[in-house]
Amino acid sequence: MSAFLTPTLENLTPYTPGDIPRKRSILKLNTNENPYPPSPKALEALREAADDRLRLYPDPECAQLRAAIAALPDRERQVILLRYYKGLTQDRAARVLGVSQVQVSRIERKAVEHLRHKLDGP
């Protein structure tokens, strides 16, 4: 017998997944189940979040994003294309554009802000 276990604990039979208790007084819950209903606040948050946007497939052509990128100033568009389309690092994009990495970082941040504003609104 272990010094850490009582005789009761030592004699317990461990739970076996899929095991169904035989006593009707015992309710077996799976780990993803809860015997209580969701709180009213949780239900309200779900109702607010579950609007018709969840039913839509994204545009496979990304027309809105492409139009927003096309509307960017030339340097911002170049940085976005080098960083996200070509997958270049800021250092590599800086060398391609002939500017510093810090400038690429600033231009990228400004371009992303413009895109967010254009796509998500203020």
Indicate whether 52 belongs to any domain: no
**Domain boundaries, position 90:** 63-120
- The answer to whether 87 and 97 are in contact (CB under 8 A) is no
In angstroms, the CA 16 to CA 14 distance is 6
> Would residue 116 count as lying in a domain?
yes
Q: Answer yes or no: is 106 within a domain.
A: yes
Domains of the chain: total:
1
pLDDT in tens, 25-72: 777 766 677 778 889 998 898 888 887 777 777 788 889 999 999 999
Structure confidence at residue 2 as a pLDDT band (50, 70, 90): low
CATH of the domain at 84: 1.10.10.10
Determine, yes or no, domain membership for 98: yes
The secondary structure of residue 28, as a DSSP letter, is -
Q: How far apart are CA 80 and CA 56, in angstroms?
A: 26
How many helices (H) and strands (E) in the chain? 6, 0
In a domain, 8, yes or no: no
Predicted local confidence at residue 60, as pLDDT: 82
